[in-house]
Amino acid sequence: MKALDHIKILDLTQFEAGPSCTEILAFLGAEVVKVESPRGGDQGRYLITEKPGLDSPYFLLLNANKKSITLNLKSDKGKALFKQLVPHFDVMVENYGPGAVEELGLGYEVIARINPRIVYAQVKGFGTYGPYAGYKSFDMIAQATGGAMSVTGTHETPPLKPGPTIGDTGTGIHCAVGILAALLQREKTGKGQRLEVSMQDAVVNLNRVAMLAHYLGSVPAPRTGNRVAVLAPTDLYPCAPGGPNDYAYLITTTQEMWESLLSTIGRPELLTDPRFADQRSRNAHFDELFQIIASWTRQRSKFEVMRAFGEAGVPCGAVLDSGDILANEHLRARGMITTIEHPTRGTFTMLGCPVQLSDSPVEIQPAPLLGQHNTEVLGTLLGLTKADLAGLKADGII
């Protein structure tokens, strides 16, 4: 049994912020039917690809476990077919540009009249109201306006874009939470509702703790790099052989961790060194302490450093690059990295589901080909015959 196997979702999303939302719901068992244009589908299908003509890794990573149908929603017939589908679904999700879905005649008021129980979810760059509502956005814009860039980097660098797409996938996860909440509320009221998540709002929410420095007098909240100034020796340490990602991050928060750290690097005599007697003293001598620990880490690989400190009870993480992640034995053991067979790309190693439920195991299925499920979905739900579907295809409707 899958946790959400009773939930059906109409997915009108593209690129990342929307697809990341519907993908995690699909992982958890929802039947997600991706509605795409017959002329190329989701714009992410062929974005950032090394094999022109095949669905891109970008698309495969964000659309696993879904079904795909094609409908030309700019045509009257395509819109009519879409509206016939609406009563069969619990959720509709869209992340088109500002006002686009309303221009198609598929706004909330229209859809709710057809199916009052539907949960109608929208992801927008700046929401549907407020001074910025008409502005378009992408992940980087959300990271800038949500405060993430201003606190990323060091005093010497300009604001930097964090590598993870927290403006896109971060927003998608927020939207999934909202959908689940609305479905639970529907159990009590019998009525659906409209929900929206702004990409800017989501990044601001993810920036909560970084904002803390502002309240403590550092106005604006500063860029502090890798170092936590009040928790010496918390920092990023260089490891052998000295490549661009040969680093390990180390953090100590208790006296016990500090003592274990010194035992691990073979420097127990520093316990009685007045420079490092307590946290305040260690903070005052951060640079000296850094050099002592770094002289030990530079002689070992990041994995050796992580293992030594981890086994000693000191929190430490090797900086895993993309290749490390795809090969990581721990992530593979947990199913977070898995290998699937795709109908056109063949063997493909991808990221799995980060949420694990004991009674709802996840089996990763490849992202669908464009229109792969037209016959299954349109035929079954709307009673269209093969001849009907062939006619619709000839007319450019599907």
Q: Known catalytic residues? A: 168
- Together in a domain, 183 and 92: yes
pLDDT of residue 35: 98
**Is residue 386 domain-resident?**
yes
Question: Do 135 and 248 share a domain, yes or no?
Answer: no
Are 36 and 182 in the same domain? yes
pLDDT number for residue 134: 97
Is residue 230 a part of any domain in this protein?
Answer: no
Say if residue 310 is in the same domain as residue 341.
Answer: no
Look at residue 397 in the predicted model and tell me its pLDDT: 97
The helix (H) or strand (E) run that includes residue 175 is helix 169-189
**Under 8 Å CB-to-CB from 16, ≥6 apart: which residues?**
44, 58, 62, 139, 165, 168, 169, 172
Residues 6+ apart with CB under 8 A from 24: 172, 173, 176, 353, 354, 355
Is 13 inside a domain boundary? Answer: yes
pLDDT at 138: 97
Whichever domain contains 277, its CATH number is 3.30.1540.10
> Is 2 inside a domain boundary?
no
Determine the structural domain holding residue 156 and report its residue range.
8-206+329-394
What value, to the nearest 5°, has the Cα angle with vertex 136 and ends 113 and 78?
Answer: 40
User: Are residues 333 and 317 both part of a single domain?
Assistant: no
Are 341 and 361 in contact by the 8 Å Cβ rule? The answer is no
**Is residue 211 one of the residues assigned to a domain?**
no
Residue with tokens 């609305």: 182
Q: What is the pLDDT of residue 1?
A: 86
Q: Which of 321, 348, 366 is the last residue of a domain?
A: 321
Count of other CB atoms within 10 angstroms of residue 394: 9
Q: Residue 72's domain is classified under what CATH number?
A: 3.40.50.10540
Q: How far apart are CA 143 and CA 202, in angstroms?
A: 9
Predicted structure pTM score: 0.96
Is 184 within the bounds of a domain?
yes
Q: Are residues 312 and 174 in the same domain?
A: no
- Written as tens digits, the pLDDT of the chain (398 aa) is 899 999 999 999 999 999 999 999 999 999 999 999 999 999 999 998 999 999 999 999 999 999 999 999 999 999 999 999 999 999 999 999 999 999 999 999 999 999 999 999 999 999 999 999 999 999 999 999 999 999 999 999 999 999 999 999 999 999 999 999 999 999 999 999 999 999 999 999 999 999 999 999 999 999 999 999 999 999 999 999 999 999 999 999 999 999 999 999 999 999 999 999 999 999 999 999 999 999 999 999 999 999 999 999 999 999 999 999 999 999 999 999 999 999 999 999 999 999 999 999 999 999 999 999 999 999 999 999 999 999 999 999 99
Residue at a domain's end among 282, 303, 321: 321
Over the chain, what HEC string results?
A: CCCCCCCEEEEECCCCHHHHHHHHHHHCCCEEEEEECCCCCCHHHHCCCCCCCCCCHHHHHHCCCCEEEECCCCCHHHHHHHHHHHHHCCEEEECCCCCHHHHCCCCHHHHHHHCCCCEEEEEECCCCCCCCCCCCCCHHHHHHHCCCHHHCCCCCCCCCCCCCCCCCHHHHHHHHHHHHHHHHHHHHHCCCCEEEEEHHHHHHHHCCHHHHHHHCCCCCCCCCCCCCCCCCCCEEEECECCCCCCEEEECCCCHHHHHHHHHHCCCHHHHHCHHHCCHHHHHHCHHHHHHHHHHHHCCCEHHHHHHHHHHCCCCEEECCCHHHHHHCHHHHHCCCEEEEEECCCEEEEEECCCCCECCECCCCCCCCCCCCCHHHHHHHHHCCCHHHHHHHHHCCCC
Strand partners, 198: 124
